[in-house]
Amino acid sequence: MKLDFNFSNLDSAAMNLDSIEKELIKAHEYVCEGSGKGSDFLGWRDLPAEDVESEVGRIKQLADLIRKKADVLVVIGIGGSYLGAKAVISALQPAFETNEHRHSCKIVYAGNSLSEDYMNDLLNYLKHKEFCLCVISKSGTTTEPAIAFRLLRNALEKKYGMKEAKDRIVAITDESKGALRRMCIENGYDSFIIRDDIGGRFSVLSPVGLIPAAVAGVDIEALLYGAKIMRDRLMNDASLSNPSWKYAAIRNLLYRNGKKIEALVSYEPALQYFASWWQQLYGESEGKEGKGLFPVGISNTTDLHSLGQYIQEGERLMFETVLHVEKSKRSIAVPIEENDLDGLNYLTKYSLLQVNHIAEQGTRKAHLDGGVSQLTISLESLNERELGGLIYFFEFACALSAYLLGVNPFDQPGVEAYKRNMFELLGKKK
């Protein structure tokens, strides 16, 4: 994975990385030595480096079993309990089902909203499908997934009976405590552990993300290998040549110089949900104590026709981090037509990928000319190894960046505020 940083339109004094080097050294120590705020939540750091052969083997066996008995796997979770899996699957799987991918089953999601219409639609859809459930929750009592699990468990038991239903449920939860763990013990559900030292938004390389991905046909060993390579690179380089240092430093220096919004921009629709995962990672890690950049995902060229005007000529609050994908899985040429009524024959010398890259190049130049600062992260292609490295890069850089802000990267006290109000209004017993 290449990391290219464009310093155009940046104040040279503001972008003096040497000015923040001492802070970076300390932040790096906090992450690598576990000496900073929230150090009891650093379990994600070593996930790809641990001997996980037996765990991966068990996950692959489970995935094979689910694919044999189900057309659909319903992943029940909210936030980091589903966004990481959805990001990986969306990035790596074909946009549309084809005969060559029938070895995998369809992944759908529940427990990420309280929409009655969505749940009704899902229950009706599942009536005519063979399905299994994967419920992900440390506590088993988080409102959205808990309601979804109760409804879907009821539908599963009605369709298959109690005995078979339990064999179609896998839970990913706390090792020893919580309502979902008690359900596993009482009902005999197969289960995997969410470690206490791994928070939800950092859990994609654990069973939380790996099980749905494996069921979808993702090569999880290659995903972990890419993350391991990146881990070794970042953990062992305590210098300004470390790409995670550069990313954390640049975004913090831009923030200190008045930028309030970071847009993660891609030109591949497959990365749309990766941006959603990134939004949670940085939003929950940094957005506290009145601090932090606002993270927003942008999918071009689609969003050029909605947000492009604001980015080009609106208030100068934003900078862009562009995810550039160099290669596609297969090439498509623009066909030549004799009458050329749509005026596109001039494009026939290009592949569609080349047209997309030229659109990206033109957009980036326009935004630079308009005063929008940019960083670029280049991937050779969208594959498991590259994506695993990208996931780990953003996780490591996020921890550094939060420490540069002076906040705990691993807590989310603000999330509890809406929960208290909701429970009070619903009349939940204390």
Which of 158, 291, 329, 419 is the catalytic position?
A: 419
Q: Is 284 a catalytic residue?
A: yes
Supply 168's token pair: 């179609």
- From the number of C-beta atoms within 10 Å of its C-beta (0-12, 13-18, 19+), residue 4 rates as exposed
CA dist 272 and 291 (Å) reads 26
Written in H, E and C, the secondary structure of 255-269 is HHCCCCEEEEEECCH
Cα–chain center distance at 121: 25
Catalytic position from the list 221, 262, 284, 386: 284
CB atoms under 10 Å from CB of 57, counted, come to: 11
How distant, in Å, are the alpha carbons of 9, 133, 251, 320, 412 from that of 371? 6, 49, 16, 11, 33
Phi-psi category of residue 58: left, alpha or beta, with phi > 0 → left and psi -120 to 50 → alpha: alpha
Report strand pairing: 373-379 vs 2-4: antiparallel
DSSP string, 220-262: HHHHHHHHHHHHHHHHT--STTSHHHHHHHHHHHHHHTT--EE
Sign of CA dihedral 17, 20, 22, 23: negative
The dihedral of CA 107, 112, 118, 124: what is its sign?
Answer: positive
> Is 138 a known active-site residue?
no
d(CA 6, CA 375): 5
395 catalytic residue (yes or no): no
* Residue 303: count of CB within 10 angstroms of its CB: 16
Residue carrying the six token digits 């559900």:
189
Measured CA to CA, the distance from residue 284 to residue 278 in angstroms comes to 10
Q: Which residues are catalytic?
A: 284, 305, 419
